[in-house]
Amino acid sequence: MEYRGYDSAGVAVLDGTIQVRKKAGKIANLDALLAQSPLPDTGTAIGHTRWATHGGPTDSNAHPHVSSDGRVALIHNGIIENFAALRAELQAQGIEFSSETDTEVAAQLLGVELAKGADLADGMRTVCRRLAGAFTLVAIDALQPGRLVAARRNSPLVVGVGDGENFVASDVAAFIEFTRSAIELGQDQLVDVTAESITVTDFFGGPAETHPFEVTWDTSAAEKGGYDWFMRKEIYEQPKAVADTLLGRYTPEGALTLDELRIPEAELRSVDKIIIVACGTAYYAGLVAKYAIEHWTRVPCEVEIASEFRYRDPIISPTTLVVTISQSGETADTLMAIRHAREQKAKVIAICNTNGATIPRESDAVIYTHAGPEIGVASTKGFLTQVAACYLLGLYLAQVRGAMFDDEIHNVMNELAATPPLIQEVLDRIGQIREVAARFVDTRSVLFLGRHVGYPVALEGALKLKELAYLHAEGFPAGELKHGPIALVEDQLPIFVVVPPQGRDQLHDKVVSNIQEVRARGALTIVLAEEGDVEVEPYADILFSLPKVSTLLQPLVATVPLQMFACELATLKGFDVDQPRNLAKSVTVE
Ligand code: AGP
């Protein structure tokens, strides 16, 4: 399970009592601890590799978590949205917590149920009915050896059906070397497992439909969830990654909240300039964010390439808010920019996907994206969740500064919450993208055009193609082509054009004119436009329809076909999509 990314790991075994060994850092640290302090060899055990969401990667925050009476050990994947209220309720009962995690709340709740005499499965069902958010939970009870229960909502859980032994896991990779017979659990289901029996119910104890299947993947493919590349797996994880990033962003009173954002509201109200600093794909997410943040907050927002930022002697003051975006949280160029900004007394907010990384640690506040580990060097779900997190920041600033009414904010949040299934709709059209990629497998150059938030999408599409297919690819503002670059256009040159939704301004019509300009010079136009946009049809050699979304949110759906195109083309060319030549996942040198 190591490939899934981890910042800590742990195991618990039941041998009369529950014994736990857990350690921050690489799994080798846990191995060393187990060598030093071995666990008994026994038939009931749970183990976990953590990708931190709530609470940094420390020994105490590592899973498994144990109820305060030592009876229950529990592990968890996902985000429990209502953990704060449940934690307060348990603390009011005198329960003492030993970690900062949302997970421990579930362990303590289950401990309370069992102490009241509940059976392990009934107790877990009671707990699951109280949790909001996304979770896969697995638990053992010291008084019920040889048995474990597991439950899932919006997070994967599979059962491995062995011979005289059974397994539960978030991923078949955990047990594929022992058995290929598996059962996929459905939404809001619980499984009660012993070495001889597997019983599946819903969260009320009623019967549940199960989906047995035979795992046909080998171990390596299993790590990729059956996909050929981690990148492709991560492209398909985007609906869930965006949904998870948006989870838990409301207070019980309905206000937008960013729980890690510990900058006083008065300071945020005094901000008179925002500077976004990042590299590569993260920089393009910042370019998208600029349009949204300026539109919602009316605060000037600059976007800077991190490696350029501190050398241009930027104008920074204590009322400047610097926002850094980084998937890895370790990019040296971005880190140096933060240090420069803080020396100039600016406040720094990090948008990051890696809990406890250097960049969030050196920032004043952080908004974590919850994309889960991104293994492919080319960033995909990292980008979409960065854009979603930037929208959250813009809306939050608008709320704090009174620049938007609550209902306006809720309208945008509701539209954001509705985007994951729209992203899935785009993913379901992979067949068309495969056909387009096959048509251009020998092309030597591709251009990408866009306007407004479509321009950073064009830049990101070009970067994906450079990184993966080693092709000359370039993104332009659609209106800029006629000022020189149009000289590049020749017969059959493929040009992707991101067309904005048909709306109140001339943005759409201007882009249609730009398409005509390049077609008149022989370009082959691949047009991405919203469903029903018949105006672009006469000028599109290939038309890829996008789900309808508002202008500012279009990057969440328009970027996906470009990611898929680059992935398909590189695959057809026989290149290593996950580890392209010359690149590294995290560039920790300046
Ligand atoms: C994205 O596909 C690239 N691998 C690269 O541009 C990356 O986005 C950039 O290096 C920034 O990385 P970070 O988000 O981890 O800071």
CA-based diameter of the chain, in Å?
A: 79
Cα(585) to ligand 1 centroid in Å equals 7
- Pocket test of ligand 1: the residue of 238, 324, 327, 585 to mutate, having most ligand atoms within 8 Å of its CB, is 327
pLDDT digits (tens, 9 = 90+) for 547-589: 999 999 999 999 999 999 999 999 999 999 998 888 878 777 7
Cα(586) to ligand 1 centroid in Å equals 7
Question: Would the pLDDT of 504 be above 70?
Answer: no
Q: What is the pLDDT of residue 521?
A: 94
Question: Would the pLDDT of 42 be above 90?
Answer: no
Residue 61, Cβ density class (10 Å: 0-12 exposed, 13-18 middle, ≥19 buried): buried
- Pocket test of ligand 1: the residue of 283, 287, 379 to mutate, having most ligand atoms within 8 Å of its CB, is 379
Q: What is the pLDDT of residue 210?
A: 87
* Residues in contact with 265: Cβ distance below 8 Å, sequence separation at least 6, in sequence order: 400
- Pocket test of ligand 1: the residue of 384, 587, 588 to mutate, having most ligand atoms within 8 Å of its CB, is 587
Beta carbons of 33 and 27 less than 8 angstroms apart: no
Question: Would the pLDDT of 259 be above 80?
Answer: no
Residue 413, Cβ density class (10 Å: 0-12 exposed, 13-18 middle, ≥19 buried): middle
Tokens 């659609």 identify what position? Answer: 478
Question: Would the pLDDT of 26 be above 90?
Answer: no
Tokens coding 399: 């709320």
Cα(284) to ligand 1 centroid in Å equals 10
Nearest atom within ligand 1 for CA of residue 359: 16
Cα(380) to ligand 1 centroid in Å equals 10
In 429-541 the beta strands, taken as DSSP E runs, fall at: 445-450, 472-477, 494-498, 524-530
Pocket flag, ligand 1, residue 99 (CB < 6 Å): no
pLDDT digits (tens, 9 = 90+) for 308-321: 998 999 999 999 99
Nearest CA to ligand 1 atom 9: 280
Pocket flag, ligand 1, residue 371 (CB < 6 Å): no
Q: Mean pLDDT, the chain, as a whole number?
A: 94
Cα(283) to ligand 1 centroid in Å equals 8
Domain ranges of the chain: 2-215, 224-417, 427-572
Pocket flag, ligand 1, residue 280 (CB < 6 Å): yes
Nearest atom within ligand 1 for CA of residue 281: 8
Nearest CA to ligand 1 atom 6: 280
Q: How confident is the model at residue 3 (pLDDT cuts 50, 70, 90)?
A: low
Percent of the chain with pLDDT over 70: 99
CATH value of 427-572 in 3.40.50.300, 3.40.50.1220, 3.40.50.10490, 3.40.50.2300: 3.40.50.10490
Question: Would the pLDDT of 5 be above 70?
Answer: no
Percent of the chain with pLDDT over 90: 82
Same fold, 2-215 and 224-417: no
Cα gap 73→357, rounded to integer Å: 28
Torsion angle in degrees (nearest 10) through CA of 480, 485, 489, 494: -70
Strands 189-194 vs 147-153: parallel, antiparallel or unpaired: antiparallel
Beta carbons of 385 and 371 less than 8 angstroms apart: yes
Nearest CA to ligand 1 atom 16: 326
Nearest atom within ligand 1 for CA of residue 463: 2
The DSSP-derived string for 380-409 is: SHHHHHHHHHHHHHHHHHHHHHT-S-HHHH
What is the fold of 224-417?
Rossmann fold (3.40.50)
pLDDT, mean of residues 112-122: 97
Cα(341) to ligand 1 centroid in Å equals 20
Pocket flag, ligand 1, residue 307 (CB < 6 Å): no
Pocket flag, ligand 1, residue 338 (CB < 6 Å): no
The phi, psi pair for 526, rounded to 5°, reads -110, 105
Name which residue leads in pLDDT, 232 or 220. Answer: 232
pLDDT digits (tens, 9 = 90+) for 443-483: 999 999 999 999 999 999 999 999 999 999 999 999 999 99
Pocket flag, ligand 1, residue 327 (CB < 6 Å): yes
pLDDT digits (tens, 9 = 90+) for 410-429: 999 999 999 999 999 999 99
Question: Would the pLDDT of 160 be above 90?
Answer: yes
Question: Would the pLDDT of 38 be above 90?
Answer: yes
Question: Would the pLDDT of 357 be above 90?
Answer: no
**CATH dotted code for 2-215:** 3.60.20.10
pTM: 0.84
Cα(276) to ligand 1 centroid in Å equals 15
